[in-house]
Chain A
């Protein structure tokens, strides 16, 4: 699993990446009440707004951590957005994206580096 400075995690399987927000991000956001996911087949450049996560208090943008095409979204989050708080790094995943350039993962942090990053 790789991590971004925007507190997303990315798990690569072949050329498909599963994306979600980190446990740290979920804790910081607080109680999540709504997740707006992208549409399947939507194309994103790295850094584009891809999803929105709303906590009780505020809305936060989720950026596409890599460039590519959405292949699958976690539809369970529509009725159970609280899953992002309960299990952010597994069942609370957001979407899967087919990478157009796998080298974009190279600059991302591993778990140890991310841990150091959030402790800064």
Chain B
């Protein structure tokens, strides 16, 4: 892998100037932390607002040549379990690409553009580490007449936290009342961007796609507010873990299904019943018969964090599962983890043991999230 080219986002020099510690992540040099450090960045984002560079993620449009939204939506519905067709202009949903066996290839955001003249465009945001495979997968499964247009000229940043709306509404008053999971295509201080009210921290906030040529100026604009600090990948991980959100390649992968992962909420009722998407057989079987294992929150009782790969045992010392993400939750004030356990142990409050460096440590299963979500649900 050492001869593999390391990509840089358009914000690379900006990060370095901010004093970021850069690390390779999914083929990109990304900021893992800034001088504030992971703990303070995390707490700052929960209390104020944090700015993230997520430009390594993949962005694309799916456009039907017949000029209708319905054609593109129906085509995409063959490879994702969510209801795409019912998306209103400017509405966004979370979903997954499934393989034939119902395993998760990636998770993604899908939305319908709201801007006049482009309301038939489907906009996708996928994980950095999966994007090449995802785009090949889409190409393979799209019928004639559907064009996949990969966005090579757009950066992606996220402004997250309870003060995000205050900052954003200084430039765009209408952003304050945007519903959760809706989007706007609009000019912000002279820069065209696609703004959605969503994120990966459990906090209120926005994700903003903006041209590479404008992204530094936009970050400088947000950073001119005292409430805003840059947040690196380290705190991004602890924020999403406390929020109970899955990280692809860890909490979900090709071996796990959306039902096991507790993502059934993202599959609308009629799609569960009718199927008609890749992997539907397993999803329907697991919905009918219940899955053999479930993703749960795990709270270690002591102070020792339980990292990914830690074996979960029942109180008799029998292996019942494994931790898929674990670390320290700065807002929770102690170690937090999630993982898969056999279904009979999934009920929250079940006492379990974690094998940490050869010793069994007490823990219990808990409801996710560890820190309540703080999404904007209207006044």
Q: Which residues of A contact B (CB under 8 A)?
A: 30-31, 33-34, 36, 52, 54-59, 78, 81
Contact = CB atoms under 8 A, between A and B. Distances in A.
B324 interface: no
Contacts of A33: 39, 303, 305, 328, 335
B304 interface: yes
B335 A34 contact: yes
Interface string B104-125: 0000000000000000000000
A59 B303 CA distance: 13
B222 to A, nearest CB: 24
13 contacts: A30-B33, A30-B39, A33-B303, A36-B304, A36-B357, A55-B38, A56-B38, A56-B39, A56-B328, A56-B330, A57-B32, A57-B237, A78-B303
A57 B38 contact: yes
Contacts of B335: 33-34
Contact of A54 (B32, B37, B42, B304): B304
Indicate the member of B32, B328, B357 with the most A CB atoms within 10 Å.
B328
B305 A59 contact: yes
Contacts of A36: 304, 357
A57 B307 CA distance: 9
A31 B330 CA distance: 10
Indicate the member of B33, B304, B307 with the most A CB atoms within 10 Å.
B304
Contacts of A78: 303
B303 A56 contact: no
A118 B238 CA distance: 29
Contacts of A81: 303
Contacts of B238: 56
A50 B42 CA distance: 30
Interface in B311-336: 327-328, 330, 335
The bracket for how many chain B residues form the interface is 10 to 19
B209 to A, nearest CB: 28
A30 B38 contact: yes
Contacts of B362: none
A34 B39 contact: no
A52 B38 CA distance: 19
Given A36-B304, A59-B307, 14 more contacts: A30-B33, A30-B234, A31-B37, A31-B39, A33-B328, A34-B328, A54-B328, A56-B38, A56-B42, A56-B238, A56-B327, A56-B330, A57-B234, A58-B307
Given A30-B37, A34-B335, A78-B303, A56 B234 contact: yes
Contacts of B40: 31
Contacts of A58: 307
Contacts of B32: 57
A52 B357 contact: yes
Contacts of A57: 32, 38, 234, 237, 327
Nearest to B32: A57
A118 to B, nearest CB: 16
Give the 9 A-B residue pairs with the shortest CB-CB distance, closest first: A31-B39, A33-B328, A56-B38, A34-B303, A56-B328, A57-B234, A34-B304, A54-B305, A30-B37
A108 B328 CA distance: 34
Interface in B259-310: 303-305, 307
B325 to A, nearest CB: 12
Contacts of B37: 30-31
B230 to A, nearest CB: 16
A31 B41 CA distance: 11
B327 to A, nearest CB: 6
A46 B238 CA distance: 35
A56 B303 CA distance: 12
A57 to B, nearest CB: 5
A34 B305 CA distance: 8
B219 to A, nearest CB: 23
A31 B304 contact: no
Interface string B40-77: 10100000000000000000000000000000000000
